[in-house]
Amino acid sequence: MRESGRLGGAGRLKPTSDLAFKKLLGSDGHKEVTRGFVADFFGIEVAVDDIRIENPYAIRPVDPLAGVEELTRLRQTFRDVTVSVGVADVVVELQLRLTEHFEARSLYYLFDRFNSHYDHAAVETAGGADWRYSSLRPVFGLNILGEPFRTGEAALRMYRLWDPILGEAMSPELIRAGYLDLTKSGGLTARQEAWRQFLLTGVAPIGAPAYLGEASTMIEYVNLGGEERKMVDLMEKAIATYEAEMAYAKRRAAEQAHAEGHAEGHAEGHAEGHAEGHAEGFAEGSERATRDVAARLLAMGLDRAAVAKATGLEEADLDTPRSGR
């Protein structure tokens, strides 16, 4: 059985790999899996025939010499799934690593999808002065996250347009922004937890609905088509190359920063040590000279008070042996 860093148990692609994610929810031939996902996370029950996948899973001919940049751009097409489920549009996106503005980005694409239906209604059927708005339809989004999202134990958060004073949501509901944190399990239903476990392992847990078993089989490497296998291999190679290059670049940058910091610290330390030593030596020499003068004056029989005043020393220090090296 083929082993890979992007493969889960029993030679399956990890569901959170880009290609597998799009294959699971964006395949026209496996709409039962999509139907189950929409029902489990959005509570929308819809017949399979009423599901229309807007950006269907497909693999264009693969260039064996495709570079990292080209494959990176191609990966983006596998990270989101948009389906029409009759009463609404559902947008599902994979966001394993949280970026600084990912929440704003997720809302941007959600509203962008909502706005995309503007002016799509037929004039003769819409009616009214504002007929262009009649084609707007609800859009529900779910972002699947691989890193902790917010504090608390809740794994799933669904945000709606809400009036906190009246305690009510806008009706009819037009926008829903959801976030599924795969690192947590709090508050999930049994089926949502089954999805979470499947997304983490690629294996449908015991007692999971039949469509998760179907999903598990879909991403077995041995069941992939030739073009799919080629794409998986190229993507994994590109990702491995990219990660190796980044690791090398970071190591070299760290080594260079260490070397520069060491050289700079050595130079600064040398300069500071020289200055401090010079100052300390000067002070010590000056003190020794002063005590020598005081000793000679006392030996000549001069008054102690007068010697102290002339040298700046305290009378009590006149008898202190002078320091030497």
At residue 178, the pLDDT reads: 97
The pLDDT assigned to 133 comes to: 84
- The beta strand positions in 85-138, using DSSP E, are 89-95
What is the DSSP code string of 189-224?
-HHHHHHHHHHHHSSPPTT--HHHHHHHHHTBGGGS
Q: What is residue 69's predicted lDDT score, i.e. its pLDDT?
A: 62
pLDDT at 96: 86
* Rg of the Cα atoms in the chain: 37
- The secondary structure of the chain, three-state, reads CCCCCCECHHHEECCCCHHHHHHHHHCHHHHHHHHHHHHHHHCCCCCHHHCEECCCCCCCCCCCCCCHHHHHHHHHCCCEEEEECCCCEEEEEEECCCCCCHHHHHHHHHHHHHHCCCCCCCHHHHCCCCHHHHHCCCEEEEEEECCCCCCCCECEEEEECEECCCCEECCCCCEEEEEEECCCCECCCHHHHHHHHHHHHCCCCCCCCHHHHHHHHHCEHHHCCHHHHHHHHHHHHHHHHHHHHHHHHHHHHHHHHHHHHHHHHHHHHHHHHHHHHHHHHHHHHHHHHHHHHHHHHHHCCCCHHHHHHHHCCCHHHCCCCCCCC
CA 60 to chain centre: 28
Q: Does residue 194 contact residue 205 with C-beta atoms inside 8 Å?
A: yes
- Every domain of the chain and the residues it spans: 9-224
Q: Is the backbone peptide bond immediately before 172 cis, with ω within 30 degrees of 0? A: yes
pLDDT at 77: 65
Residue 229 is encoded by which pair of tokens? 């296998």
Q: What was the pLDDT predicted at 282?
A: 47
Strand partners, 117: none
Give the per-residue pLDDT at 131: 73
Please report which helix (H) or strand (E) contains residue 163, including its range.
strand 162-163
And the tokens for 130? 């504002």
Predicted pLDDT of residue 36? 97
Q: pTM above the 0.85 mark?
A: no
Query: Which pLDDT belongs to residue 277?
Result: 52
Q: Which of 293, 301, 300 is nearest to 317 (CA)?
A: 293
pLDDT for 268 equals: 58
What's the length of the chain? Answer: 325
Specify the pLDDT at position 4: 46
- Considering only CA atoms, which of 44, 62, 34, 2 is closest in space to residue 211? 34
pLDDT by 10s per residue, the chain, length 325: 344 445 555 577 889 887 889 889 999 989 999 999 999 999 999 999 999 998 887 776 555 555 656 666 666 666 789 999 988 999 999 988 888 889 999 999 999 999 998 877 665 555 566 777 888 899 999 999 999 999 999 999 999 999 999 999 999 999 999 999 999 999 999 999 999 999 999 999 999 999 999 999 988 876 777 777 777 777 777 667 767 777 787 788 788 877 776 666 555 555 555 555 555 554 555 666 667 766 766 666 666 766 666 667 677 776 665 444 4
Please tell me the number of Cα atoms within 13 Å of 222 on its side-chain side.
Answer: 7
